[in-house]
Amino acid sequence: MSISHLARELSNHAPLLISVSTRLDNKPRPFRFLNVWMRQDEFLPIIRESWDQSCPKSPMQILCHKLKRLRGAIQSWNKEVFGDIFQGVKKKEEEWWLAMVQMENDESEGARVVKQRRLQLVIHKVKNERGEWVESEEATGEEAVQFFEKMFTAQQTTSSPDLIQNIPKLLMGEDSVLLEQVPSKEEIRRVVFDMDGESALGSDGYTGKFFTAAWSIIGDDMARAVCSFFCRVELPRAVTVTSIVLIPKIAHTQNFSQFRPISLCNFVNKIFSRLLADRLAKV
């Protein structure tokens, strides 16, 4: 927060300009699909215009490329029809922060609870591996990257070719065929429509509601991409990338080991997991 003294005009009182900023300000905001867009009559025509443009690539690459291209088309359309919604949200956030500043001098129980919750929204400082406090945004980010890279990076281990012989076979031949067979478009559609359309967004910003609302347009490409996965096509980074949300395990955290990481996968990635889970449930 910064305070500037402004010049007196027509008054004996000098006004103050209060600027409130957080670590979340001045950063590019990621794309977030808003389900309210689906209520507009021109929503599906915008989707079709972007989606029907040719893309001579493999089925999985086509899906990723079209979803990425569609984000730009939706954002442009949103500014024309609604204006910059997210700028309006930012303005409301600034008003909220100003209200929080006024609350700092409020000693009531309700104000104390709000202050405590607000402090928990941002990681202000953490201890590094040497037990030293780091407070700057850059140093905190570097510490987070190092900690979670170490956590999620697999260690190199030596394996014996005979090891697999000691793993008991729990699935019969028919069950293995069931798990590996290429799904039909109808099976893929059923999985997509059965999944929670309001679940937390992944890094691509699309909700499940988007895929069900636009299925008549994107369904064929979705089905071909999912089928290619069962033909042993490697999933690209655009599908496997996840966003990590940190949930504190204790009230006063000191290092990143005291946070519980929650991975938010893209909706497309969840489709593969749900397909396999539904098939395993039948075994």
Q: Quote the pLDDT of residue 38.
A: 92
Do the domain assignments include residue 104?
no
Do the domain assignments include residue 133?
yes
Do the domain assignments include residue 122?
yes
Domain count, the chain: 1
Tens-digit pLDDT profile for residues 12-53: 666 766 655 555 555 667 889 998 899 999 999 999 999 999
- Tokens at residue 41, please? 């009559």
Cα distances (Å, whole numbers) of residue 33 to 38, 72, 185, 209, 227 = 10, 11, 25, 9, 25
Cα distances (Å, whole numbers) of residue 1 to 13, 17, 94 = 22, 10, 11
Do the domain assignments include residue 137?
yes
Cα distances (Å, whole numbers) of residue 254 to 78, 133, 147, 245 = 41, 9, 13, 17
Do the domain assignments include residue 147?
yes
- Tokens at residue 178, please? 């069931």
Q: Quote the pLDDT of residue 94.
A: 60
Helix axes 109-120, 85-103, angle to 10 degrees: 130
Q: Which residues are CB-neighbours of 283 under 8 A, at least 6 positions away? A: 171, 175, 178, 179
Tens-digit pLDDT profile for residues 182-195: 999 999 999 999 99
Do the domain assignments include residue 213?
no
Do the domain assignments include residue 201?
no
Q: Are strands 133-134 and 126-127 parallel, antiparallel or unpaired?
A: antiparallel
Do the domain assignments include residue 176?
no
Tens-digit pLDDT profile for residues 133-181: 988 888 888 998 899 888 888 676 666 777 777 777 777 778 888 888 9
Q: Domain range spanning residue 140?
A: 110-152
